Amino acid sequence: MAEPEAMSLRHLPAVAAVLATAEAALLLERHGRIVTTDAIRQVIDDTREILRSTSAVAPSAIDVAQRARDLLEARAPGLRALFNLTGTVLHTNLGRAMLAEAAIEAAVEAMRHPVALEYDLAGGTRGERDDHLRSLLCELTGAQDATVVNNNAAAVLLCLNTFALGREAVVSRGELIEIGGAFRMPDIMARAGARMVEVGTTNRTHPADYHDALNERTGLVLKVHTSNYRIQGFTAEVGARELAAIADAAGVPLLNDLGSGSLVDLSRYGLAKEPTVREAVAEGARLVTFSGDKLLGGPQAGFIVGDHALIEQINRNPLKRALRVDKLRLAAIEATLNLYRDPDRLTERLPTLYFLTRVKADIETQARRLQPTVAERFGDAFVVEVGECLSQVGSGALPLDTLASAALVIRARNSQSTLQRLVAALRMLPRPIIGRVADGSLHLDLRCLVEADESLFLTSLAQLDVDGVVAADP
């Protein structure tokens, strides 16, 4: 046994020999010397391990170069574009909102050229980066002033830190939210340096609860939109208008964290209503916070709109500098907000709203159109049918509302493990296809597949190794 092992190990090519092959020359050209050498070394090390425990024959230098190529090509970029056919339109793990063309163009311009980021073109003097968005946000929300930070979590953190550092922040027990990605209101308060004062109970909070909690140590009263859950049944909450009056009487600002919020009344597009920012401002909250990449349909960002004096204080907080937004996103935000000035054309221009308002009949037609090609592609081992399904808004907006939709429903004829391998293989495509497995079938909800991407979708499917998926069955 020892003899052939030693023999094959001795035949293992050296790194230099592999680098000298024509195959390696291509890799050097494409990936550079350091990355290529590392990959070759890794293949040789792995092979050495295998040769020690088996009687396999040592690979040639060309074999090693080819395995190094496989290794390098498997390391595709992590942020690969993919097809979101999960049925969740604003999928946090898949990057939430897809941007409008106008926003993409604006961001590309800002990447390619110098921009007047903090430069006042009229006066030739230093300007402020928030200036570009301030008037737009005020116009769209009715607020006196506005500022923008990295995301809504940052917006809430910054407000708390500005007004409740070393002081008390009052919040209802029914609104102590946790949203995905470890954003928990009590933790954010603690990190902001605020002492949380909980009032009321999980299901019922009354005006007197707030009155009793307010004192000279109070820095901020918080109202938090329960974006991803609803408390139903025997409930009572203090509305924003009444709470604003209570806070005003105590001389303390009310912050209304809307979470998603919306700049337009979604019921006008046939969707369920989510609180609009304009309403929240009109109800009297001195500060309102909301996200850029939820229902608004822009890039990740957090907005704070409200009283001029308070926004000024926020802008003077040193944390604002740490949480500020870069020129790319500012450009994309400005272009996105501009679209809201023409709400009549918003569904055509803003992908998020386009997806949310697609009617089932339209999606079903698309599914019927694609079904024969997909069925043929998947072959006899799978059944591909057009089925009904329910899409979701996602990102903690309208949590209880579903949207009637249509899907390609794929079942494996023989075993459940075949379906699981198919799902995994779809994830590994150059442009991955992500669906949702339910009731033993893979559902590809077509709500978020734009017509222009259909041929790319079919080309991607054509790259699927269906035989490999099926053949792996015992």
Ligand X SMILES: *Cc1c(COP(=O)(O)O)cnc(C)c1O
Residues that bind ligand X (CB under 6 A): 151-153, 156, 177, 179, 183, 224-225, 227, 257, 259-260, 291, 302, 396
Residue with Cβ nearer ligand X (51 or 159): 159
Contact call for residues 129 and 266 (beta carbons, < 8 A) = no
Residue with Cβ nearer ligand X (203 or 226): 226
Residue with Cβ nearer ligand X (179 or 423): 179
Residue with Cβ nearer ligand X (137 or 409): 137
- Beta strand spans in 260-396 (E): 287-291, 302-306, 382-394
> Residue 388 phi/psi, 5° resolution?
-85, 150
Tokens of 329: 């996103």
Q: Which residues contact 66 (CB under 8 A, 6 or more apart)?
A: 23
How far CA 349 is from CA of 100, 136, 340, 376, 398, in Å, comes to: 6, 18, 10, 34, 22
Residue 150 C-beta: closest distance to ligand X, Å: 8
Residue with Cβ nearer ligand X (64 or 255): 255
Give the orientation angle of helix 2-10 with respect to helix 33-53, to 10 degrees.
170
Going by their DSSP bridges, the two strands 145-149 and 302-306 should be labelled as: antiparallel
In the bound state, the residue with its beta carbon closest to ligand X is 259
Residue with Cβ nearer ligand X (153 or 189): 153
> Residue 469 phi/psi, 5° resolution?
-65, -45
Residue 412 C-beta: closest distance to ligand X, Å: 37
Residue 176 C-beta: closest distance to ligand X, Å: 11
Residue with Cβ nearer ligand X (351 or 396): 396
Residue 156 C-beta: closest distance to ligand X, Å: 6
DSSP state of 306: E
Residue 153 C-beta: closest distance to ligand X, Å: 3
Residue 90 C-beta: closest distance to ligand X, Å: 10
What is the length of the chain? 474
Cα–Cα nearest to 175, from 225, 235, 211:
225
Residue with Cβ nearer ligand X (58 or 158): 158
Q: Which residues contact 323 (CB under 8 A, 6 or more apart)?
A: 149, 150, 154, 157, 158
State the amino acid at position 245 in one-letter form. Answer: A
Residue 184 C-beta: closest distance to ligand X, Å: 10
Residue 181 C-beta: closest distance to ligand X, Å: 7
Residue with Cβ nearer ligand X (177 or 422): 177
Question: What gap in Å lies between CA 406 and CA 171, rounded to an integer?
Answer: 41
Residue 252 C-beta: closest distance to ligand X, Å: 20
Residue with Cβ nearer ligand X (304 or 422): 304
> Residue 172 phi/psi, 5° resolution?
-75, 145
Give the orientation angle of helix 454-462 with respect to helix 360-378, to 10 degrees.
20
Cα–Cα nearest to 323, from 206, 137, 155, 112:
155
Give the orientation angle of helix 33-53 with respect to helix 61-74, to 10 degrees.
110
Cα–Cα nearest to 296, from 251, 231, 351:
351
Residue 186 C-beta: closest distance to ligand X, Å: 13
State the amino acid at position 320 in one-letter form. Answer: K
Residue with Cβ nearer ligand X (190 or 361): 190
Residue 203 C-beta: closest distance to ligand X, Å: 18
For 169-209, the DSSP string reads EEEEGGG--EETTTEEHHHHHHHTTPEEEEES-SSB--HHH
Tokens of 368: 């019927």
Residue 382 C-beta: closest distance to ligand X, Å: 37
Q: Which residues contact 63 (CB under 8 A, 6 or more apart)?
A: none
Q: Which residues of 26-43 are buried (b: 16+ CB within 10 A; e: fewer)?
A: ebeeebeeeebbebbeeb
Residue with Cβ nearer ligand X (225 or 443): 225
